[in-house]
Amino acid sequence: MTEAAADLVIVECAEHESVEIDTALWLNSDHHLVLNSEIDGRDILRANFRKGALRLQATSYVGVIPLNDRVIVRVKPRVPIANLTRMVIETGHDVLALSTFREYSSRGTADDWAMDIFADALLDYLDELLDAGMMRSYERCEDEGHFPHGRIDFTQTMQRFAARGVPNKAAYSWFERTVDIPANRCIKAAMEVVHAYLTKSKAKPRRGDRAKIARLAGQLLAFEEVGEDTGYRFLDDPVVLGLTPLPDPRAYYRSALDLSVVILRGAGISLDLGGTGVRLSSLLIDTNKLFENFVRISLAKHAARQNWPVEVLDGNAEGRVDLYDVPDPLPSPLGTPLKALASLDPGKAQPDIVVRGLDRNFRLIAEVKNTVHGKNSKAEDVLPDRDEVEQAVTYALRYGLNFALLIHPWIKGKKGLVYVGRVRSVDVYDYRLDLSKDEGTDEALADMALTVAGLAGLPAGQPPISA
């Protein structure tokens, strides 16, 4: 489970899995946790007892977690999800960045969430670069005149001046140190791309952008003597591409150059663990919220493409309703009416997905759960967790529906729609969505949308609303 690299211990586990780590590595002599300040107070790792041993348990966050300066915990998704990058891009899901470094492979297109991370990383690399000093090279310059300096070119002098009877002029050359080199032109071009991104018009300017712009403007001043190459010819330079190693004293340029090339080529970030490429801050993803957002947004996009006469809503926001009603008259089981607590606080029914018709009638509610049930069971198919069913049935009753839908990531057994059974008047269905392979994701999402349409009473060939 663990491997030691010098004094650093790397622990591999899956989300929600408990792992044993020598307590001397994360507890001090007073039995207090020794944690990285960036994860202290966050529900990322939990300490608990299991079978008499003190262990750490991962939560729903996946990524590389710096527990402290002695231990790194690498948490992988417990379900076979091969589409983390796509899911984050399509949902705009927030990614928690930590200051530890790890490798991410670049691919795809640099969407806003990736550009935010690129901008932060480039600013940090530039601070380090400018503190250590900009790289320069010697450039050969040539001239001719009455006051030569550097090295006299005797051949040119004889041909141009002595042969013509001009005794007081000479051709000469010298070398000057300059910062206008391909490496610096590459970094400056990336800085300008990031500056354009941060200053582009936005309906809601993001917090912190002004400080980043001011910081970047100061860094650009240091590159004032570096020329511009709008054709990006520096991308053919072997030093820029890493084909020729940098001088040892300038090795700190590598991170800034690699990231600059990624920015200029418009690449995104692959969040699948184990990639190699540009070094960026460690990113943590809450897979519970990510899976919920991805399912809801995918259904909403499919509904829009197929012109379904419904709205796909977030039950935690615009799709929620009051959980309790206050009847009139109030019940009087003891002879006098009892005041309802719901008259002060009616509570909220908040399904993850609410499908509402244009007539304002509710057609379907769904609870999206990124949970693993039956993974270690010998049976191929098992019942969903009882608390999930109870929640979904309660919501179905509140929304006036005779069925409830659960949506889980597929682990094993049957894929697609499964009928669980009936709780009094409410039928319970469970949809197992297969996201285990990149190439089958679109088909899996389309099948899920057709199933939802069927349950919601929408014909597959629903005509456009305008018709």
Specify if 38 maps to a domain: yes
Q: What is the pLDDT of residue 263?
A: 92
User: Which of 27, 60, 76 is at the close of a domain?
Assistant: 76
Is there a single domain that holds both residue 427 and residue 309? yes
Specify if 114 maps to a domain: yes
| 456 touches 310 (CB < 8 A) | yes
Type of residue found at 306? Q
Whether 3 shows a pLDDT value over 60: the answer reads no
- From the list 323, 406, 322, the residue with the least C-alpha distance to 364 is 406
User: Which of 266, 295, 310 is at the close of a domain?
Assistant: 266
pLDDT range class, residue 272, cuts 50, 70, 90: low
Specify if 9 maps to a domain: yes
- From the list 92, 43, 431, 97, the residue with the least C-alpha distance to 290 is 92
Specify if 6 maps to a domain: yes
Q: From CA 308, how far away is CA 296, in angstroms rounded?
A: 15
Whether 68 shows a pLDDT value over 90: the answer reads no
- From the list 76, 119, 124, the residue with the least C-alpha distance to 100 is 124
Type of residue found at 54? L
Whether 255 shows a pLDDT value over 50: the answer reads yes
What is the average per-residue pLDDT within 350-365?
96
What is the average per-residue pLDDT within 6-32?
81
Is there a single domain that holds both residue 162 and residue 242? no
Q: How many CA atoms lie within 13 A of 26 on its CB side?
A: 25
More confident residue, 452 or 137: 452
Is there a single domain that holds both residue 115 and residue 229? yes
Q: Note the pLDDT tens digit of each residue in 280-337.
A: 778 888 999 999 999 999 999 999 998 999 999 999 999 999 999 999 999 999 999 9
Average pLDDT, the chain: 85
Residue with tokens 């989300």: 15
Say what the pTM is. Answer: 0.74
Residue with tokens 């990510």: 290
Q: What is the pLDDT of residue 127?
A: 94
Cα dist. 232→214, 225, 240, 265 in Å? Answer: 25, 17, 11, 10
Specify if 274 maps to a domain: no
Number of Cβ within 10 Å of residue 249's Cβ equals 10
Specify if 83 maps to a domain: no
Q: From CA 441, how far away is CA 394, in angstroms rounded?
A: 31
- With a pLDDT cut of 90, the percent of the chain lying above it is 44
Cα of 56 vs its chain's centroid, Å: 24
Is there a single domain that holds both residue 72 and residue 203? no
pLDDT range class, residue 412, cuts 50, 70, 90: confident
Specify if 42 maps to a domain: yes
pLDDT range class, residue 232, cuts 50, 70, 90: very high
- 226 burial (CB, 10 Å; 0-12 / 13-18 / 19+) is buried
The one-character DSSP state at 132 is H
Q: From CA 165, how far away is CA 158, in angstroms rounded?
A: 10
The residue range of the domain holding 445 is 287-333+341-455
More confident residue, 206 or 49: 49
Q: Note the pLDDT tens digit of each residue in 425-457.
A: 999 999 999 988 877 889 999 999 999 999 999
Cα of 76 vs its chain's centroid, Å: 14
Is there a single domain that holds both residue 66 and residue 144? no
Whether 355 shows a pLDDT value over 80: the answer reads yes
Q: How many domains does the chain have?
A: 4
Full 3-state SS string of 291-329 = HHHHHHHHHHHHHHHCCCCEEEEECCCCCCEECCCCCCC
Is there a single domain that holds both residue 239 and residue 163? no
Token couple for 94? 């927030």
Q: Note the pLDDT tens digit of each residue in 112-127.
A: 778 888 998 899 999 9
Is there a single domain that holds both residue 149 and residue 117? no
Specify if 466 maps to a domain: no
